[in-house]
Amino acid sequence: KQEVTQIPAALSVPEGENLVLNCSFTDSAIYNLQWFRQDPGKGLTSLLLIQSSQREQTSGRLNASLDKSSGRSTLYIAASQPGDSATYLCAVPYSNYQLIWGAGTKLIIKP
């Protein structure tokens, strides 16, 4: 069964740094991968959806890449800001209606 892993569980960096969050999956037969953001005690917001035919997807300072052969996706955040502090989760579908989720990386940007 598909497993999704996000390492590290937590990351703290100074403001202004560029950073990379990682997401690994065990079954490369995926048709897309999504990145979400969750603020403390809140719901999730979709950030980027990258199709299996794409290698990258960009939105503002965020860039997601997908390498199916290695079972890996990265979320690159440029010029980090304190407002980027949140938990970032990745998920892959295993049916039309079901997703398998990583446990998330809690990101803290220090002013």
- The site for other proteins (CB under 8 A) is made up of 4, 9, 32, 34, 41-46, 49, 89, 91, 93, 95-104
- The 3-state DSSP class for residue 100 equals strand
CB of 52 to other proteins, least distance (A): 12
**Smallest separation, CB 96 to other proteins (Å):** 5
- Between residues 92 and 109, which has the closer beta carbon with respect to other proteins? 92
SS3 82: helix
Q: What does the alpha-carbon distance between residue 79 and residue 102 come to, in Å, rounded to a whole number?
A: 25
Amino acid at 50: I
Q: Contact, 1 vs 99, CB < 8 A?
A: no
Residue number with CB closer to other proteins (2 or 63)? 2
CB of 8 to other proteins, least distance (A): 12
